[in-house]
Amino acid sequence: MKSIKPVIISGREVHPIIEGGKGVAVSNGRSAGAFAKAGCVGTFSGVNPDSYDEDGNPIPQVYKNKTRKERFEELIAYAIEGGIAQARIAYEGSDGRGRIHMNTLWEAGGTERVIHGVLEGAKGLIHGVTCGAGMPYKMAEIAAQYNVYYYPIVSSMRAFRALWKRSYSKHSALLGGVVYEDPWKAGGHNGLSNAERYDEPQDPYPRVAEIRKFMNSVGLNDVPIIMAGGVWYLRDWEEWLDNPEIGPVAFQFGSRPLLTQESPIPDSWKQRLLNLKEGDVTLNKYSPTGFYSSQLNNDFLRELGDRAARQVPFARKPTDELTGEVKVGARGRSIFVPADKQADVEGWIAAGYTEGMRTPDDTMIFVDPDRAQEILADQAGCMGCLSACAFSNWADNEENTTGRLADPRSFCIQKTLQDIAHGGSVENNLAFAGHNAFKFADDPLFQSGRNGQFPTVAQLVDQILTGN
């Protein structure tokens, strides 16, 4: 195993180990401070982070206003207050070592305002801002206002080249690194392009080498690339070390930190991760963001799949293609579906899936009355957590709408992520994880976790530095 050399991140020499930022409230100030104290980069999530009451308990993010726009303002206030709180915790826990970064999602609701609010309120506590889920052109300009480093998350050279030419070349001194996130292996939302198949993963090496070649062509030879997604043991990445085609490199760990003592996720979630098998994490496209995402194949995901499967094209009046008449709802209103699907629809209704819900694609899905009521309530309670939400049709624009029908095939992502992060069911909530999370089952470092004795972040870092 080659020696694992330090790199310069956000103006300081650190181990080439970066904690992956995981929102909502999954990577927090405590975990970030521990990584920094171990001489690495700790990352807390700036996406709906927790703030605390006088007794140190998380303050529930309850939305009291009646309109979406008013609740959107509540959301931003919660995020800024929580981000400042987590930055302080991280900084205090670091003992002045390592670096503290904040992770943000460009497509989250009010992201620009949140970044400004947190960086203003936590001056000197945050050394870098990581930003993905979209094309964060303005990130360089914002970082320059506060003299912090910025780290775009990309999944191709083309994406970084577009960011560089449009914006980043004007603020190159504060470009701390480029995060390459493998869109087939990383947990959470992934940056697959329309030209790439979700079921045909590509080797990250040539994709990262292509990024480095472009970076070198514009004078970014010494700016590190951060490999994210699919990183477990550094021994698997030995060919990347001291490699001129890759250049200075660091590695982001998203999944392994979940099973540390400092990780805030509930024990039920930790135990579930310890028992995963290969293939238990899958890519799907149910997210209201419109991005593919990697998550645990649990009851929550299966229900979304079943919901989408009970779907047919329909019309209110018969057409050449839609001739099968079906009576739907308490009033028995007629809809017309393909003749070869008529028996399927009638079977769904007979099985209790009596409520037809229209989608933006001129199809109808069938759910039971309780699920229909839940979907409608969640859509009505939208607080604008995304810049554009397919599920609720909220958009962070002047009209506050995407202009499309709300899509009942998706879900309220804010609701489910808040619930699982604060003790809710692992089976009945969205549970993000990287595709290598099945390796927890055989990783020697975590086996004592079956008895509740999880390693500390410091112990994890020591293990990573051995290559294992």
- CA distances (Å), origin 3, targets 177, 241, 252, 444, 461: 21, 8, 18, 22, 15
pLDDT of the residue at 466? 96
pLDDT of the residue at 398? 87
DSSP 419-466: HHHTT--STTS--B--TTGGGGGT-GGGGGGGGT-PPPHHHHHHHHHT
pLDDT of the residue at 288? 95
pLDDT of the residue at 173? 96
Q: Where are the domains of the chain?
A: 7-272+440-465, 299-421
Cα–Cα nearest to 7, from 255, 252, 173, 180: 252
Residues of the chain with confidence (pLDDT) below 50: none
- pLDDT tens, 113-132? 999 999 999 999 999 999 98
User: pTM of the prediction?
Assistant: 0.94
- pLDDT tens, 220-258? 999 999 999 999 999 999 999 999 999 999 999 999 999
Cα–Cα nearest to 78, from 38, 23, 11, 134: 23
| CATH tag, 7-272+440-465 | 3.20.20.70
3-state helix, strand, coil in the chain (%, to 5): 35, 20, 45
pLDDT of the residue at 331? 86
Q: How far apart are the first and last CA of the chain?
A: 10
- pLDDT tens, 361-377? 999 999 999 999 999 99
